[in-house]
Structure 1
């Protein structure tokens, strides 16, 4: 019963949390009654199981009390009906006293043991999660030694790479096989579900491959630790991520850079003035998920983080999606200047953002459909890139 109560509590709490985060959307679409009804249904289900658990506990306690009272009754009858010559009155009194104490303690211990067993249901669920959840690869692999300055040039090679997100699910990247030159600016485009973002997932080894491998400067990323790999790459995500702490912690969590370097990165990302106005400046507090910054400011802070690391390989997943057009143009110039010698992979949901790339990779159904210079692809009237560009221009018009 306690297990059922715990299971029914999770969706109830989840609905409450998601409702609080989406209050503005709920009010905008007038979905208050619908969410209230869902809340009441989940609350009733949880209350049923909680009532069953409490009723079961009380019923068990009643049975124990009945057993204790019955035992005491039999001892008392035995004491009253037996002759004093057979058993002395002092021993009779001791028997009654012990029976009262024993039944009381038995009842208390039994109820506690049942409560402990019920409450430990949560610990059992945690243990099941810990033991059944498959962990990531090790952070460091002692057998593999990589140069300190790796990657020195930033060349990336996908060799017959296949990937699925979970077992018994469809392949999302099917036989990817291409090479990215060191320092090349590659634009990645394609329709929704074509596998654009999955390339970034594969590069950071968030999901292990089903087959094939990825080489960075000739080193198989499957042979090195996750810490050694991910510390050498930088990503500017579509959904910016900030952690609770300070501005400095979000930019430099391992205290590797000086204040001058941090301010220089903020200046390049056009966030220097905004951070300077905050109380504490670099020590200003950042709320959970960066709620005290706008989405655009969060993306600029993530960009400053990437500028500060100055990695040889940069992944941009529509990094300027929440930035106005004027700042977008300035940021694009900054990206081109700051990452001039880095290999840059730009996952574009708006094709206009990758028209200046050295080459365009067009993904389709998890495969490489086209890979060439943007001008060459644009001149082919029936190429997928031309069709995407035409559709994009039509939508803009």
Structure 2
């Protein structure tokens, strides 16, 4: 007899250990699968976001996008990790308890289950209110992140203009709005928990009252009533768990809704490789080697239908021609450059490079043919070499050789580790002039056939500017160049000048020809000579 008890005890211990091991394995597997799914969602979301046009990103604060990539995806992770799987276990437990109660006593079991219908409907109503409040919380969190990110990006301006207290008050108002939104979901969450607790006590009291009457009438035994009371108490445990999980799932559904809004944003700049309607001849033609002819054919572009940025713009730049683009602020110069690089898509007209519509040129080929140097140079966190390479496969030795040709060796020697010097975000640990030098080198490495320069020497001291200008002249040889010019000295060196105003080409010609026309260019040139304005 004693041996049988020992075997039973050992069997129970082994069973407990196996159960614990399986529970641990289940928890690990569920969490692992959940993290894998959310990692894939985050990857797809990021890929979609960076392929959206610049037009979309111009209107969407970075902080709001970050919230969708982080907080919203994390909410999905919680659902995948526990909520969805736990619902199945709770539903099975609820079904087993319900069936058992009906088998114990049909009348009392049906009566008890009938009371759950209005309870369930009320909980579902509260869940819907919770979901709306949760959506508001996500929106307020996006505003909070956007506000925080904007202040960090503009920290220099904030401190120089003593905006700390003003911006802190604005941020506090955003924080209060977020807190109020969070309080609303806390209210609904607490209401659900309190309601279930109240109903569970009321149902047990109902079972005791009706069951007691059955016992006194002799239609039910005391043991049956006791069993039924215990099961009625257990009935609400999975119901309570379901309510908590559904609250979690509602948060996940809100995240899905917000993520879906981003994924539904149409990718305007479609690559030719993903467009099945393009013929093979177009692809072959797009890969042909050209000299860099640029044609704008009745191009129009707007953000809104009532706000025309570029209007019926037509011009031709011959291969190897150097053209200066001038005009007042807001005339559409930068937009024109972005259209040429297919960062924006025109609503009307065509843009051709060497006779091929840029829509028929694969983006990787188009942007390999065009080199852009802007005033606001963006450098990634990482080392100097990686910022020069970007997508180019090139060795350190070749990089050093190119830098030597451009006269950048003195610059590299100033860096502690040369090409392997680490740069902070946006190149914050080097000067504006040094960032501009690296930007020019980055373009030179790719040897494009079309160069776009936005006053590339704007942030340089005279000595560095003279050195780089000589290298730029060498880089511009036998290449088409489009220069957004601000200084008369740069403009005069151009083969031709395009003058823009309010998105239209109003004048074109050489410096001397335009001066004779006594138009807008002549006025701007005269003002700049007097030191009163710049292009």
TM tier relative to shorter chain: over 0.9
Kept after mapping to 2: 8 A contact 1:189/1:351: no
Q: Tell me which of 319, 325, 344 is aligned to 1:188.
A: 325
Which of 371, 375, 380 is the aligned partner of 1:234?
371
Q: Does 1:260 align with 2:392?
A: no
User: How much has 1:86 moved relative to structure 2?
Assistant: 2.4
Quote the residue 2:479 is aligned against. Answer: 342
Q: Distance in 2 between matches of 1:255 and 1:349?
A: 31
How many residue pairs were aligned? 395
Identify which range, 106-115 or 334-343, moves more after superposition.
106-115
Q: Cα deviation per residue 1:188-220 (whole Å; 9 max; x = unaligned)?
A: 110011111121111111111222212211112
* C-alpha separation in 2, matches of 1:393 and 1:170: 33
C-alpha separation in 1, matches of 2:356 and 2:189: 61
- Aligned-pair distance for 1:396? 5.7
The question of whether the paired residues in 2 share the 8 Å contact of 1:155 and 1:180 is answered with: yes
The CA distance in 2 between the partners of 1:102 and 1:23, in whole Å, is 57
1:196–1:363 CA contact under 8 A, matched in 2: yes
What secondary structure is seen at the aligned counterpart in 2 of 1:159? strand
Structure with more contact order per residue of length (Cα contacts < 8 Å, sep ≥ 6): 1
Q: Retained in 2: the 8 A contact 1:2–1:119? A: no
Secondary structure of 2:505 counterpart: strand
Report the TM-score when normalising by structure 2.
Answer: 0.70
Distance 1:330 1:274 in 2: 12
**8 A Cα contact 2:301 2:346, kept in partner:** yes
Aligned position for 2:357? 220
Matched, 1:56 2:193: no
Equivalent position of 2:15 in the other structure: none
Please report how far the alpha carbon of residue 304 of structure 1 lies from its aligned counterpart in structure 2 after TM superposition.
0.2
Quickly say closer, same or farther: Cα 1:139–1:271, change in 2 above 3 A: farther
Return 5+ residue gaps in structure 2 as ranges: 1-132
Following superposition, the deviation at residue 135 of structure 1 comes to 4.1
Of the three residues 113, 137, 142, the one matched with 1:10 is 142
Residue 196 of structure 2: SS of its match in structure 1? helix
CA distance in structure 2 between the aligned counterparts of 1:169 and 1:302, rounded to whole angstroms: 36
Other-structure match for 2:232: 99
Q: Pairwise mapping of residues 188-207 of structure 1 onto structure 2 (< 5 A)?
A: 188-207=325-344
Which residue of structure 2 lines up, in the alignment, with residue 78 of structure 1? 210
CA contact (8 A) 1:159 1:212 kept: yes
CA distance 1:67–1:52, change in 2 (3 Å): same
For 1:317 and 1:146, the matched residues in 2 are separated by: 32
Structure 1: state its 5+ residue gaps: none
How far apart are residue 76 of structure 1 and its match? Answer: 2.2
Q: Say which SS state the counterpart of residue 96 (structure 1) adopts.
A: helix
Q: Distance in 1 between the 2:503 and 2:433 partners?
A: 30
Deviation at 1:103, TM superposition (A): 1.2
1:369 is matched with: 506
> Over alpha carbons, which structure has the higher Rg?
2
1:40 aligned to 2:172? yes
Query: Secondary structure of 2:215's partner?
Result: coil
1:153 aligned residue:
291
Contact 2:450–2:481 at 8 Å: present in 1 too?
yes
Q: Decide whether aligned partners of structure 1 residues 255 and 312 sit closer, same or farther in structure 2, where only a CA change above 3 A counts.
A: closer
Contact 1:248 1:283 in 2 (8 A): yes
Kept after mapping to 2: 8 A contact 1:188/1:362: yes
Conserved 8 A contact 2:268-2:345: no
Aligned partners of 2:365, 2:315: CA distance in 1, in Å? 24
Cα distance between partner residues in 2 of 1:279 and 1:329: 25
The reply on whether 1:299 has 2:436 as its aligned counterpart is: yes
Q: Distance in 2 between matches of 1:11 and 1:148?
A: 44
Partners in 1 of 2:448 and 2:370 — Cα distance? 6
Q: How far apart in 2 are the matches of 1:214 and 1:134?
A: 19
Post-superposition offset of 1:160: 1.6
| 2:466 matches 1:329 | yes
Is 2:388 the partner of 1:251?
Answer: yes
Whole-Å separation in 2 of the counterparts to 1:384 and 1:168: 27
Separation of aligned partners in 2, 1:292 and 1:219: 42
Kept after mapping to 1: 8 A contact 2:286/2:360? no
Q: In 2 relative to 1, CA 394–373 (structure 1 residues): closer, same or farther, beyond 3 Å?
A: same
Alpha-carbon distance change, 21 to 315 in structure 1, aligned in 2, over 3 angstroms? same
What is residue 311 of structure 1 aligned with on the other side? 448
**Counterpart Cα distance in 2 of 1:94 and 1:281:** 80
Task: Indicate the residue corresponding to 1:173 in structure 2.
Answer: 310
Q: 1:132 to 1:337 in 2, by over 3 A?
A: closer
Indicate the residue corresponding to 1:389 in structure 2.
525
Q: 1:369 to 1:179 in 2, by over 3 A?
A: same
CA distance in 2, matches of 1:169, 1:138: 28
Q: Deviations over 1:212-242 (max 9, x none)?
A: 2122111121222222211211101121011
